[in-house]
Each structure stands twice: as structure tokens, then as C-alpha cells.
């Protein structure tokens, strides 16, 4: 990348992040998502760490300001200055203030993929003030441990030791085709759509968002969880959706490895974290790796069966350094095959779903489009395993997507066109990370449209 094109892209990313900053945190998008989201904040902190270490630290600390006493880090921390109409489901739906042990700020009651320890470690690695970053890590470490302990104690539902999610939103890949079969058991109560109004369709086309039927199911699952008092212990046996997801667990294990590094930096014992990371990796291989499909898949706890779909979630375990060489080979073959098209010049980034599946949809939310966060995770995974031959073209593809379509929420992998909301924070943040990384090594020529 020439210095000048890199700086165009870098400046555009910083402009987006600065525009979405709300004083102590960053909104994913000023229009569609006007609060603070959990895993978005982790990606955002990674980007911010290249520009403003203080903002990166504040981003994570403010998210953990919403942590509940049981350790869960809620998927959304609501901004009290945004009115209820700004986003559905908002504070009056989740009613976190009626639950004991919750933060003073209103939050949702579900979680999202636990990638925060990894983000905190990246903040240290990119820090211009390392002493300050170490102090930040000392502050955050106990909260990160409680986040992971919540998963280990409240979300483990079988002998695998892996964490289960109780709502598709907890996966981060809301309407992934992996949820079709488990969701089919959840009755569609259309009256919920009259009682509660979807707000997302005011900001994005209905052909790009989840269907009404799926939305009715999401509301039902969330309302049932709320009405149980978010009590995992009592509720899990009677839940209508209970799934063990490879991306969620891979990010937990990857973050556990990061916690080990953080523990060392602040003079504590890394061993318990390494032990848990190793155990999670092995359990994932045993329960979630589908050797016929040659990828990781989700496990439907209630049906006691794997969900045989190839999605990007099945490739994200590449981030784990303890994966066996045979599995790494399977995953890289999967990536370069016609299912995901890495190295195919007609395919941009890593599609969220199998390009060859009959229900692949390049524009509908998590059912086909390329997202920059999952593509970035695969990129990091390829580098963990020394596959720079594949990582380098993927980095190039991410930059080209942003250069051509701007920091959109997602992209059609077949055309590179941008979709969903604009000025999307994690797209900007992760592009900033890639630009900074490549500016140390590579040479690319890109400019950005925003
Ligand atoms: C999307 O999820 C929210 C629900 O949490 C929504 O659809 O309204 C997902 O893409 C999720 O992964 C993301 O964190 C969130 C905010 O960007 O939007």
C-alpha cells in the first residue's frame, strides 16, 4: 500500500470512529444501533487502540460498567440519552432494572461472543503508553475472569464443558442458517409483532434483514428469558433454543489464551487460563467438528445433534493455536474451496454462508454476505497457523471492499456492493487494524469511498 492511499483509508476510518464516539463508548451505527454493543465494542477497541489508547481503554471499561453481578457482560448497554423509540428491543423490554445484581445503567439480559480479553490484549500490544495499558489490564482482568466464569458456571449444560447460547442474538450471527432447524421448534406468535414494533426496518430493506417470522421467534425467546428472571439455572432445562456454537466457544477459548498472557503481564498465574483454553479446544474438536463437512458446526442441545451447515462460524476456530494440523488443513481447504471462495478473484472476503448452498443469499444479513469482523477473525486465524499465503490476499480483499463500498455493515461477496447500515464502526475499526498491520509490511494501492 502506498503511504498516501494508506493514510486516506486510515483517516476515513478514524473519521467514522470519531463520529460514532459518544463520550465513553462508540455506537455501532448512529442510526440502526444507537447504544453500546458488547462484541462490537471489542472490535472497536482494537481499532481505537491504533489511534487513541485512552479511548480504547475507556470503550472496554465502559462496557464492563454494565456487567452484572453474576459476571455476564450484557449484549447491549443502553445510552440513557437515547429515547426508547431509538431501538427495539430497548430498556423497557429487557427490564434489567427489575433484576437484582444488575448495573445501574439499563442493559439487555443476553450476552454476545466473549472476545473482550483478546481485545484488551491487543490494546496492550498496540499501546504507546505500555505502563498505562498495564494498569488498565490490572483493572479489567478480574472482570474478564468473571465474564468467563459466568460462562463456565451458568452456560455449560453438558459434560463437554462448552458454553451454550439461549438466543440466536447471542451468537452475533443473528439469522445464520445454522439457527433454522433449532428455531423451527419455536412457535411463531405474530401478535408479538403487533405488540412490539420492529425498528430495524426503518433503517434497512426488509429483503436484507431477518424475516418477520424469525423476528417473532426472537422476541418470544427473549421475553421468556426475561420472564424467568434471566435465571440460567432454573430456565435452561425448559428453554426452546439451546445451542453450542463454534464461533462463540472459539472466541471464549481464544480470549482464555489472551487472559493467560494478561495474567503473566500483571504477575499472576497463567496456567488456569491455558488449561481451560486447551480443554475448550479439545471439546470443540470432539463435539463440533464434522469430518464429513470438514468444518466445525453448531450443536443443537435439545435435538442432541449437530446442525450440518457450513457457515463462517465453523471456520473461526482457526484462531486457536492448539488445533491439530489435520483440522487446520481441513479448514484452509474449506476456505479455498468453492464453498467459501478464498483465492477466487470473483469472491470478496469470507462469505458468512456456503456459496454453494441452495439458500445462500448474498444480501440478507448473516445468510451469505461478507462481514468484516468474521473475515478479520479468519485472517487472524490464518496468521496464527503461519498461512500468510492466504492471509495476505484476504487482507487485500478487506481493504478493497472498504475502498470500493465504504464502511458498510456487510457486503455482497459476489459483487463487493455494500449493504446494511453505513458508517459502521467495526468495519472502520478493523480496517484501521489491517491498514496499520500492513503498513508495517505490505504495499497496496487503495482509496476509500465513504
Ligand atoms: C446485530 O444484532 C442486533 C441484535 O443484537 C440486531 O440485529 O438488532 C448483529 O449483527 C450483531 O452481531 C451486532 O453486534 C449488532 C450491532 O452491530 O447488530
Q: What is the pLDDT of residue 132?
A: 98
- Taking CA atoms only, the protein residue closest to ligand 1 atom 17 is 28
pLDDT tens digits for range 217-268: 999 999 999 999 998 976 565 789 999 999 999 999 999 999 999 999 999 9
Q: What is the pLDDT of residue 49?
A: 98
Does ligand 1 have an atom closer than 6 angstroms to the CB of 39? Answer: yes
Q: What is the pLDDT of residue 402?
A: 95
Instruction: Kindly give the distance from the C-alpha atom of residue 85 to the centroid of ligand 1, in angstroms, as a whole number.
Output: 17
Q: What is the pLDDT of residue 194?
A: 83
Percent residues over pLDDT 90 in the chain? 88
Q: What is the pLDDT of residue 297?
A: 98
Does ligand 1 have an atom closer than 6 angstroms to the CB of 371? Answer: no
Query: Is 174 a catalytic site residue?
Result: yes
Instruction: Kindly give the distance from the C-alpha atom of residue 173 to the centroid of ligand 1, in angstroms, as a whole number.
Output: 8
The 10 Å Cβ neighbour count of residue 105 is 18
Q: How far apart are CA 240 and CA 63, in angstroms?
A: 29
Q: What mean pLDDT do residues 296-308 have? A: 97
Instruction: Kindly give the distance from the C-alpha atom of residue 174 to the centroid of ligand 1, in angstroms, as a whole number.
Output: 7
pLDDT tens digits for range 346-372: 999 999 999 999 999 999 999 999 999
Q: What mean pLDDT do residues 402-410 have? A: 96
Instruction: Kindly give the distance from the C-alpha atom of residue 167 to the centroid of ligand 1, in angstroms, as a whole number.
Output: 12
Q: What mean pLDDT do residues 290-319 have? A: 97
pLDDT tens digits for range 167-182: 999 999 999 999 999 9
Please identify which of the residues 409, 412, 433, 450 carries the catalytic annotation.
409
- Residue 182: CB partners within 8 Å, gap ≥ 6? 241, 242, 243, 298, 300, 302, 303, 307
Query: Is pLDDT of 387 > 90?
Result: yes
Query: Is 344 a catalytic site residue?
Result: no
Q: Is the pTM of this model over 0.75?
A: yes
Dihedral angle, C-alpha 49, 407, 43, 330, nearest 10 °: -120
Q: What mean pLDDT do residues 433-446 have? A: 75
Cβ atoms of residues 47 and 127 within 8 Å: no
The 10 Å Cβ neighbour count of residue 14 is 18
Percent residues over pLDDT 70 in the chain? 96
Cβ atoms of residues 27 and 33 within 8 Å: yes
Q: What is the pLDDT of residue 235?
A: 58
E strand or H helix at 243: strand 243-244
Confidence of residue 447 (pLDDT cuts 50, 70, 90): very low
Query: Is pLDDT of 443 > 90?
Result: no
Does ligand 1 have an atom closer than 6 angstroms to the CB of 409? Answer: no
Confidence of residue 450 (pLDDT cuts 50, 70, 90): very low
User: Per-residue DSSP letters for 127-188?
Assistant: -SSHHHHHHHHHHHHHHHHHHHHHHHHHSB-STT-PBPBSSGGGGS-TT-GGGHHHHHTS--
Instruction: Kindly give the distance from the C-alpha atom of residue 306 to the centroid of ligand 1, in angstroms, as a whole number.
Output: 24
Please identify which of the residues 174, 261, 433, 450 carries the catalytic annotation.
174
Of 32, 33, 210, 225, the one to substitute when testing ligand 1's pocket (max ligand atoms within 8 A of C-beta) is 33
Cβ atoms of residues 246 and 284 within 8 Å: yes
Does ligand 1 have an atom closer than 6 angstroms to the CB of 410? Answer: no
Amino acid at each position: 500500500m502506498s503511504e498516501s492511499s494508506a493514510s486516506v483509508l486510515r483517516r476515513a476510518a478514524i473519521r467514522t470512529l470519531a463520529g460514532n464516539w459518544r463520550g465513553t463508548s462508540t455506537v455501532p451505527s448512529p442510526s440502526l444501533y444507537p447504544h453500546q454493543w458488547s462484541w462490537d465494542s471489542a472490535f472497536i477497541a482494537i481499532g481505537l487502540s491504533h489511534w487513541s489508547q485512552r479511548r480504547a481503554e475507556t470503550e472496554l471499561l465502559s462496557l464492563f460498567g454494565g456487567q452484572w453481578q453474576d459476571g455476564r457482560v450484557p449484549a447491549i448497554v443502553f445510552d440513557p440519552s437515547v429515547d426508547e423509540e431509538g431501538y427495539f428491543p430497548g430498556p423497557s423490554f429487557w427490564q434489567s432494572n427489575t433484576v437484582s445484581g444488575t448495573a445501574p445503567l439499563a442493559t439487555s439480559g443476553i450476552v454476545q461472543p466473549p472476545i473482550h480479553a483478546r481485545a484488551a490484549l491487543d490494546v496492550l500490544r498496540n499501546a504507546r503508553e505500555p505502563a498505562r495499558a498495564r494498569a488498565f489490564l490490572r483493572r479489567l482482568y478480574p472482570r474478564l475472569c468473571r465474564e468467563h466464569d459466568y460462562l463456565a458456571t451458568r452456560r455449560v449444560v453438558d459434560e463437554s464443558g462448552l458454553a451454550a447460547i439461549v438466543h440466536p442474538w447471542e451468537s452475533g450471527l443473528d439469522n445464520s442458517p445454522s439457527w433454522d432447524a433449532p428455531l423451527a421448534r419455536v412457535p411463531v406468535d405474530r401478535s408479538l409483532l403487533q405488540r412490539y414494533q420492529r425498528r430495524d426496518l426503518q433503517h434497512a430493506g426488509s429483503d436484507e434483514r431477518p424475516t418477520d417470522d424469525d423476528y417473532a421467534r426472537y422476541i418470544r425467546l427473549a421475553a421468556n428469558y426475561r420472564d424467568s428472571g434471566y435465571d440460567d439455572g432454573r430456565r435452561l432445562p425448559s428453554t426452546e433454543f439451546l445451542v453450542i456454537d463454534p464461533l462463540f466457544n472459539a472466541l471464549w477459548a481464544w480470549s482464555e489464551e489472551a487472559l493467560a498472557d494478561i495474567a503473566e503481564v500483571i504477575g499472576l498465574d497463567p496456567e488456569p487460563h491455558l488449561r481451560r483454553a486447551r480443554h475448550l479446544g479439545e471439546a470443540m474438536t470432539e463435539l463440533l467438528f464434522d469430518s464429513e463437512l470438514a468444518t466445525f458446526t453448531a450443536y443443537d442441545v435439545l435435538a442432541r445433534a449437530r446442525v450440518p451447515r457450513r457457515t463462517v462460524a465453523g471456520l473461526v476456530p482457526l484462531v486457536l493455536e492448539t488445533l491439530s494440523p489435520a483440522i487446520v488443513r481441513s479448514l484452509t481447504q474449506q476456505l479455498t474451496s468453492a464453498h467459501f471462495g478464498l483465492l477466487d478473484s470473483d469472491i470478496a472476503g469470507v462469505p458468512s454462508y456456503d456459496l454453494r448452498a441452495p439458500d445462500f443469499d448474498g444480501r440478507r444479513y448473516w445468510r451469505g454476505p461478507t462481514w468484516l469482523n468474521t473475515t478479520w477473525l479468519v485472517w487472524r486465524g490464518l496468521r496464527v497457523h503461519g498461512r500468510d499465503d492466504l492471509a495476505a490476499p484476504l487482507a487485500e480483499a478487506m481493504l478493497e471492499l472498504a475502498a470500493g463500498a465504504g464502511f458498510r455493515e456487510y457486503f455482497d461477496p459476489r459483487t463487493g456492493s455494500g449493504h446494511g447500515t453505513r458508517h459502521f464502526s467495526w468495519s472502520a475499526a478493523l480496517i484501521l487494524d489491517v491498514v496499520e498491520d500492513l503498513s508495517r509490511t505490505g504495499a497496496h494501492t487503495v482509496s476509500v469511498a465513504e
